[in-house]
């Protein structure tokens, strides 16, 4: 077990290393303004205040009984969350309080385990070290389960890993298969799963004699969204949670016109990550299933517009994406 004094020092380093990844709509005030500017369509109502009441679960006797001795004996669950992408994890109106779906999942897990919750924001690149070293007990930061990661971490699934095609609200586009993207101009992040899928679909289309995709790369998510709004893009292909959130708060501007699993042609899941073999995963899986059963899980996903990514049950170490 890692001593709490050592963990506190590591936590401070991780917090200092956090970065702010800005998109086209990332500030709490901006999100509220977008939602209030709805032109008659139903918009996702978002509470971005720092004093909002979290969605809570209840203690689970089964989950508590599965807690390994010597890991969280101080009654606190220290959780690393990302920094910062709505609706997963971002800052409230005070620019200090972390809110979003991932902090919400952390709260449900802590409640189910009968523990107090401490959130630590960290850059994506830091989560493996933070989790392995014991700087945090768990990471909840949109981590996809892979067979390679399962060699170093245990996982408890809590969301489907979906990618989404974001379009202008009145585009009339629909994406269900590779042929639907032929001839379109589409932005995608370099080196991402979505780029791999888009290029594979484009190769399939070219082989079938269809028009090629005009693949565009931008420096930031915000640049891609601005290009989409201006009509320079037909689609932006990225993580479904962020796209669905933009469409949810501004349905007059955006719509998700298709989704594909992030592991295409395999199925990928998003999961809570814990250090391999420390015994926490089984307890966390039980806490998540308790939240699913009592309805708090569904309430949380509905709050952040992610009901389409709900799972029926959490699983410990589900099948992961194969090694490259």
pLDDT digits (tens, 9 = 90+) for 95-129: 999 999 999 999 999 999 999 999 999 888 899 99
Please calculate the CA angle 67-88-320 and round it to the nearest 5 degrees: 60
Retrieve residue 54's tokens. Answer: 């979290």
Q: What mean pLDDT do residues 126-153 have?
A: 95
Distances from the Cα of 157 to the Cαs of 105, 139, 142, 292, 318, in angstroms? Answer: 11, 12, 10, 12, 7
pLDDT the model gives residue 19: 32
Categorize the per-residue pLDDT at 85 as very low, low, confident or very high, splitting at 50, 70 and 90.
Answer: confident
Retrieve residue 186's tokens. Answer: 């589409």
Cβ contacts of 245 within 8 Å, gap of 6 or more: 44, 86, 87, 304, 305, 306
Q: Which of 268, 293, 11 is nearest to 144 (CA)?
A: 268
Which residue ranges form the domains of the chain, and what is each CATH number? 4-161+268-309 (3.40.190.10), 162-261 (3.40.190.10)
pLDDT the model gives residue 324: 78
Task: Tell me: pLDDT of 13 over 50.
Answer: no
Retrieve residue 21's tokens. Answer: 């990844």
Q: What mean pLDDT do residues 250-269 have?
A: 92
Retrieve residue 310's tokens. Answer: 């709900």
H-assigned helices in the chain? 4-16, 28-36, 61-65, 101-113, 127-133, 193-207, 221-230, 240-249, 280-294, 296-303
For the chain, give me the number of helices (H) and strands (E)?
10, 12
Task: Tell me: pLDDT of 259 over 90.
Answer: yes
Per-residue pLDDT tens digits for 164-191: 999 999 999 999 999 999 999 999 988 8
Q: Among 1-10, 69-78, 257-266, name the one with the lowest average pLDDT.
A: 1-10
Q: What mean pLDDT do residues 303-317 have?
A: 94
Per DSSP bridges, beta strands 214-216 and 185-188 are parallel
Q: Which of 235, 237, 238, 240 is nearest to 308 (CA)?
A: 240
Categorize the per-residue pLDDT at 35 as very low, low, confident or very high, splitting at 50, 70 and 90.
Answer: very low
Task: Tell me: pLDDT of 229 over 90.
Answer: yes
Using a pLDDT cut of 70, give the percent of the chain over it: 87
DSSP category for residue 54: P
Cβ contacts of 37 within 8 Å, gap of 6 or more: 250, 252
State phi, psi for 6 to the nearest 5 degrees: -65, -40
**Other CB atoms within 10 A of residue 319 CB:** 15
Per-residue pLDDT tens digits for 289-305: 999 999 999 999 999 98
pLDDT the model gives residue 42: 63
pLDDT the model gives residue 23: 32
């Amino acid at each position: 077990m890692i001593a709490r004094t050592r963990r506190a020092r590591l936590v401070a380093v991780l917090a200092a290393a956090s970065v702010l990844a800005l998109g086209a709509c990332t500030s709490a005030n901006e999100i509220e303004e977008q939602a209030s500017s709805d032109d008659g369509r139903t918009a996702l109502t978002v509470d971005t205040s720092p004093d909002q009441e979290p969605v809570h679960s209840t203690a689970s006797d089964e989950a508590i009984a599965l807690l390994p001795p010597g890991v969280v004996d101080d009654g606190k669950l220290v959780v690393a969350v990302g920094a910062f992408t709505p609706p997963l994890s971002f800052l409230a109106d005070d620019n200090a309080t972390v809110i979003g779906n991932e902090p919400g999942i952390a709260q449900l897990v802590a409640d189910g385990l009968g523990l107090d919750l401490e959130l630590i924001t960290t850059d994506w690149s830091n989560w493996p070290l933070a989790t392995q070293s014991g700087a945090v007990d768990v990471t909840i930061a949109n981590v996809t389960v892979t067979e390679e990661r399962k060699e170093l971490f245990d996982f408890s699934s809590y969301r489907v890993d979906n990618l989404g095609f974001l379009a202008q609200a009145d585009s009339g586009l629909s994406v269900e298969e590779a042929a639907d993207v032929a001839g379109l101009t589409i932005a995608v992040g370099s080196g991402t799963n979505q780029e791999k899928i888009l290029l594979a679909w484009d190769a399939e289309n070219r082989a079938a004699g269809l028009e090629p995709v005009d693949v565009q790369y931008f420096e930031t998510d915000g640049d891609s969204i601005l290009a989409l709004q201006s009509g320079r893009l037909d689609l932006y292909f990225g993580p479904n949670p962020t796209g669905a959130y933009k469409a949810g708060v501004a349905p007059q501007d955006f719509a998700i016109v298709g989704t594909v699993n992030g592991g295409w042609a395999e199925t990928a899941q998003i999961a809570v990550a814990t250090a391999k073999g420390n015994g926490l995963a089984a307890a966390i899986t039980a806490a998540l299933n308790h939240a699913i059963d009592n309805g708090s899980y569904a309430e949380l996903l509905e709050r952040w517009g992610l009901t389409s990514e709900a799972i029926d049950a959490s699983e410990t170490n589900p099948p992961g994406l194969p090694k490259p």
